[in-house]
Structure 1
Amino acid sequence: MNLEIVKAKQLYAERKSPEEIAKEIGKSKATIYRWIKENQKAFDEARALEEMSTETVSDVLDNAHKKMLVSIIEDPDSLKDPKVADALIKVANVVEKLGLQKEREDEKKIRLSEQQRGVIFVDDIKDIKED
C-alpha cells in the first residue's frame, strides 16, 4: 500500500467523505472510490479501530493480560520461555500506557468542561483605587 492510500485510509477512518479525501490528497474522486473498493477490508478496519475508545482498547488488553496470567498460574514453567515473559511485559506496558492516556484524556475533558461552563480561576487580585 503506497503512502497516498495510507493517508486516504487515515482520512476515511476520520469519517471524511471520498470527495474530501480526494481534495486533500489531490486525486480524483474515482481514484479514491477505487482505492476504497480494492482495499475495503483495510479501510473498514481502520475506521473500526479509529472508533474504538482508549477505554475499550484498555479493557481488551487487560483481558488478554488476565488470560495470560491465568495460563501462567496453571503452568508456571511457561515463564521460563522468554517469548511468554516478553509478551507478558509488553501487554502490561501497553495496559499501563493506556491507563495513563485515559487519565490525560479525562483531565482534558474536565478542563474543557470547566472552560465551557465559564469557570475562571483568578490569582492575585489587587484592588486598585482611583485618585
Structure 2
Amino acid sequence: MKEDYAFITEQGESTVHELSTVEALIKYQEQFHTGFPLTDKEAEMILGYMEGHDYVLGEVQGNFYQGDLAEVRERICWEEYSMDDVIDAVCEWNYELVLEAEAQRNNPEDFVDFAKSQSRYERLKAEEATLD
C-alpha cells in the first residue's frame, strides 16, 4: 500500500511518497539513479530491516528520506538520507543481530533453543553476505 504524507521543507509543504514495497523502492532507484541498483531480494531485505527497526523510506521530488515511526507517537519524523546511509544502517543492524544470535547459540537453554539459534544465525550470516 503506497501512502503519501505531508512534509514541511525549507521550500514549503511537500508530499512524501512512501517507498514501502519492493517495486516502489526499485522504481525509485531506477528513476533517480542512486548508484545502488537493487535486486528484488536486496530491496525486500532492506525494507524488512527498516520496518523491523520502526523506520520507513520515502522520497520528495527525487530526494530520499528515512522516516522514524517511533520517535514521536502517531507521527513520522522524516530526515533526508542517502541510500548509502540506509545500507550502512541495515549492515549495522545485521551485525548486531548476528552477535546476539551467536551469543544465544553459544549459551542455549536446551537443544531446541540451540537449533533455533543456529538457524537464525545462519540466516543472518546469509543476509550479511548479500548485504556485502
TM superposition score normalised by structure 1: 0.39
| Larger fraction in strand | 2
Larger RCO (alpha carbons 8 Å, 6+ apart): 1
TM superposition score normalised by structure 2: 0.38
| Larger fraction in helix | 1
